[in-house]
Amino acid sequence: MLEINNLHVKLEEDDKVILKGVNLTVEAGKVHAIMGPNGSGKSTLSYVLSGRDGYEVTDGSATLDGVELLEMEPEERAAAGLFLAFQYPVEIPGVGNMTFLRTAVNAQRKARGQEEMSAGEFLKVVREKAKALKIDAEMMKRPVNVGFSGGEKKRNEILQMAMLEPKMCILDETDSGLDVDAMKLVADGVNALRDAGRAFLVITHYQRLLDHIKPDVVHIMADGRIVKTGGPELALEVENNGYADILAEVL
Amino acid sequence: MAVAQAKQDALAARLAGLSLPQGGWSAPARAEAQARLASMGLPGKRDEYWRYTDPTTLTAAQPTPAALFDAGDETPLFDGIDRVRLVFVDGVFDPTQSDDPVAAGVEFLSAGADIHWAQGLYGVLEARGQSPVARPLAALNTAAATEGVLIHVTGRAARPINLIYLHKSESSDAILHHCVKLAPGAELTLLENGPAAARFNKVLEVEVADGARFHHIRAQGRDHERRAVTHIFARLGTGSLFKSFTLTANGVLTRNEAVLELTGDDAVAHVAGAAVGDGDFHHDDTVFVTHAAERCESRQVFKKVLKNGAVGVFQGKILVQPGAQKTDGYQISQSLLLDETSQFLAKPELEIYADDVKCSHGSTSGAIDETALYYLRSRGVPLRQAQSLLVLAFLAEAIGEIEDEAIAEDIRARLEAWLGRHGA
């Protein structure tokens, strides 16, 4: 589904090279995890895939179902089925959470040539999905992420994901700032979305999220490259021994 | 202080171009206004109060012609609101396009009587508003206005009154002066919309008696080249409420002054504005709020969205007089600059002579939040739609000052249409 080949990326501003040849293939129906020390390029990878400004791709490609992502605008990538759950969800004062969600859902439907969802239908679906994530009506009325706790923000990301039904979901440190109960809630939300036509790329520092969202494949990223790939046991190895041993072995 | 010769000449030239009304109940007020005007002279570029806005075209003997705006087949503003429509074409009341004013209790400035209730109001609040800052264009209006409505509300007005200002002649020069008097406990919503003329000078005097409530929502016309100077003078009694919101989209020059005086305890005065300008656009909000009683609340909320060299000005003052304890004053003026060529000039002022008050003010200029833009786009919202959402979000606090949700929705729709035309 997602195919990244030899991806090289530098910061536009100070010419700093961040990604130095990332190769990664995520198949439909699978959950891949990326772990790695701070500064290894994990978040940059997620931003570059979703189309954030400030990065320059100097080489390589990234395709979603064979279509080149890197030449698309961010909204086109979203309409193509890519979703990034942000590490730091953005606060947007003045835009109601419900309005935001409905605008996004209908914009994507429009881009795909589908009919817009009626207000009634939308409300019904959103209520049901919000309930599962313990997001109350009050939170839906508030401006996007404004005054939300860390946990509320992350749950709100998962709600967006559930409403938009993307085929390729990237979760960027969705576990950061979450207590155990909130992490369980978020993981349940993610697991409910797992199916044969959808793939996940879970970026995390810690094994504990992977206890709840069981990965099929684990990658270790360091210095802008995927340096090791293995099964779920690789995450446990990191948890027990840190990155030093793995890095010493591969670098 | 003697008025400089140049100013006297300019005033003489301006007055020579006008046919001043004679006689009738308003004659003494007009004569006094003319005397005030003679002592002040017309505003000039060097006047401190006109530091950020050049009044030359507002004071010139003749108006600069202004092309008409074509709104296409767009639904007129407030069309869905059940209201009394009173239409003015280039500043002249047109009964054929209007609802029955008599049934709505509306009289006209041209009313021929020698004695009229409006004698206690016409030019009175304007004259009070000349101190501490001179507002010569308002005095000119009192002296020269030939048309305007006089509304005396004694109960709760059944329907809003909508003054619709059509602009048909490219060189029209309109002067309108309205008086609204709300009896104790009365309530009225006044809607105004339209460009009115190539050059428009309007004064609205509002007396809000104890416990009365006045809502004012206006949308100034979108004719790009039109020029307007407007003044609102309001005096608020005990426990009364005054709320005014103005939408300004386009207009080569607009100066909106609001002079509000809270004279009764526990009164509430809110004045808000949303202005959007693209290119040759200069918009000036000048506000003076005087707290002269206890426990009053005032809010000034002004937001401007500027692009392609558009200029926004805000001069806002809160004056808290001695003894006006427990005053709650709030003032915010903000601009969203969509490019580097646009500018926002702000002069917020507080002057406080009471020791137990709460007054806050803030003024900011900023660009559109790129991170928020990216976030919206990453969820599939196209760039222009995302920009529009953020612009509307920026203006939300000002629009939030409109209490009636249907009216607020109309204003929002008008803004969205503007954003659609102007690509932001």
Q: Is the per-residue pLDDT at B424 higher than 90?
A: no
Cα–Cα distance measured from residue B292 to residue B348, given in angstroms and rounded to the nearest whole number: 19
* A50 contacts B389? CB cut-off 8 A: no
Q: Which residues of B touch A89 (CB under 8 A)?
A: 375
Residues 6+ apart with CB under 8 A from A167: A1, A28, A64, A65, A81, A82, A197, A198, A199
Averaged confidence pLDDT in chain B: 95
Question: Quick check: B353 contacting A, CB < 8 Å?
Answer: no
Of A79, A86, A91, the CB nearest to B380: A79
Residue B412 · residue B399 · CB < 8 Å: yes
Of A50, A91, A92, the CB nearest to B378: A50
Question: Quick check: A107 contacting B, CB < 8 Å?
Answer: yes
Q: What percent of chain A has pLDDT over 90?
A: 71
Q: State residue B72's pLDDT score.
A: 83
Read off the pLDDT of each residue in B378-385 and give the average, rounded to a whole number.
95
Question: Which residue type sits at A146?
Answer: V
Residue A222 · residue A40 · CB < 8 Å: yes
Question: Quick check: B384 contacting A, CB < 8 Å?
Answer: no
Of B375, B383, B394, the CB nearest to A73: B383
Averaged confidence pLDDT in chain A: 92
For residue B140, give both structure tokens. Answer: 């000119």
The residue written with tokens 């008599």 in the block is B102
Return left, alpha or beta for A150; rule: phi > 0 is left, psi -120 to 50 is alpha, else beta: alpha
Q: State residue B6's pLDDT score.
A: 84
User: What DSSP state is assigned to residue A222?
Assistant: E
Q: State residue A251's pLDDT score.
A: 63
Residue B271: pLDDT band with limits 50, 70, 90: very high
Q: Which residues of B touch A84 (CB under 8 A)?
A: 378
Residue B141 · residue B77 · CB < 8 Å: no
* B385 contacts A160? CB cut-off 8 A: no
* A164 contacts B380? CB cut-off 8 A: yes
Q: State residue A243's pLDDT score.
A: 85
Q: State residue A20's pLDDT score.
A: 94
* A79 contacts B377? CB cut-off 8 A: no
How much is the CA Rg of chain B, to the nearest whole Å?
Answer: 21
ipTM: 0.95
Cα–Cα distance measured from residue B27 to residue B20, given in angstroms and rounded to the nearest whole number: 10
Cα–Cα distance measured from residue A76 to residue A81, given in angstroms and rounded to the nearest whole number: 9
Distance from CA of B219 to the nearest CA of A (A): 22
Residue B2: pLDDT band with limits 50, 70, 90: low
The pTM (predicted TM-score) of the whole model is: 0.90
* A108 contacts B380? CB cut-off 8 A: yes
Residue A25 · residue A4 · CB < 8 Å: yes
Residues 6+ apart with CB under 8 A from B68: B167, B168, B170, B223
Among candidate residues B415, B398, B191, the one with its CA nearest the CA of residue B314: B398
Helix locations, B184-280, DSSP H: none
DSSP string, A78-103: HHTTEEEE-SSPPPEEEEEHHHHHHH
User: What DSSP state is assigned to residue A116?
Assistant: P
Residue A178 · residue A145 · CB < 8 Å: no
Residue A248: pLDDT band with limits 50, 70, 90: confident
Question: Quick check: A244 contacting B, CB < 8 Å?
Answer: no
Q: With helix as H, strand as E and coil as C, how does B78-129 read?
A: CCCCCCEEEEEECCEECHHHCCCCCCCCEEECCCCCCCCHHHHCCCHHHHHC
The residue written with tokens 């109601």 in the block is A96
Q: Is the per-residue pLDDT at A169 higher than 70?
A: yes
Dihedral of the alpha carbons of B231, B283, B337, A102, in degrees to the nearest 10: 60
Q: State residue B176's pLDDT score.
A: 98
Question: Quick check: B71 contacting A, CB < 8 Å?
Answer: no
Cα–Cα distance measured from residue B246 to residue B216, given in angstroms and rounded to the nearest whole number: 8
Residue B110: pLDDT band with limits 50, 70, 90: confident
Centre a 10 Å sphere on the Cβ of residue B94 and count the other Cβ atoms it contains.
Answer: 14
DSSP string, B256-311: EEEEEEE-STT-EEEEEEEEEEESS-EEEEEEEEEE-STT-EEEEEEEEEEETT-E
Q: State residue A180's pLDDT score.
A: 87
* B383 contacts A103? CB cut-off 8 A: no
Q: State residue B1's pLDDT score.
A: 52
Residues A91-124: pLDDT tens digits? 999 899 999 999 999 999 999 899 999 989 999 9
Q: Is the per-residue pLDDT at A177 higher than 90?
A: no
Specify the pairing of strand A217-222 against strand A199-203.
Answer: unpaired
Read off the pLDDT of each residue in B384-394 and give the average, rounded to a whole number.
93
Among candidate residues B52, B45, B43, the one with its CA nearest the CA of residue B201: B43
Q: Is the per-residue pLDDT at B80 higher than 80?
A: yes
Residues 6+ apart with CB under 8 A from A135: A152, A155, A156, A159
- Look at the alpha carbons of B407, B408, B411, B412 in this order and tell me if their dihedral is positive or negative: negative
Task: Name the burial class of residue A76, with classes exposed (0-12), middle (13-18) and buried (19+) by CB atoms within 10 angstroms of its CB.
Answer: middle
Residue A181: pLDDT band with limits 50, 70, 90: confident
Q: What's the residue count for chain B? A: 424
Among candidate residues B43, B57, B58, the one with its CA nearest the CA of residue B7: B43
Read off the pLDDT of each residue in B375-386 and give the average, rounded to a whole number.
95
Q: Is the per-residue pLDDT at B142 higher than 80?
A: yes
Specify the pairing of strand B227-236 against strand B199-208.
Answer: parallel
Residue A51 · residue A77 · CB < 8 Å: yes
Helix locations, chain A, DSSP H: 42-50, 74-79, 97-111, 119-132, 137-141, 150-164, 180-193, 207-212, 233-241, 244-250
Residues A118-165: pLDDT tens digits? 989 999 999 999 988 888 888 998 999 999 988 899 999 999 999 999
Searching chain B, which residue's CA lies closest to the CA of residue A102? B381
Residues B194-218: pLDDT tens digits? 999 999 999 999 999 999 999 999 9
Q: State residue B65's pLDDT score.
A: 95
Residues 6+ apart with CB under 8 A from B160: B78, B81, B82, B83, B84, B188, B189, B190, B191, B215
Q: Is the per-residue pLDDT at B112 higher than 90?
A: no
Q: State residue B332's pLDDT score.
A: 97
B220 has which bridge partners? Answer: B194, B248
Compute the half-sphere exposure of residue B27: CA atoms within 13 Å on the CB side of its CA.
Answer: 8
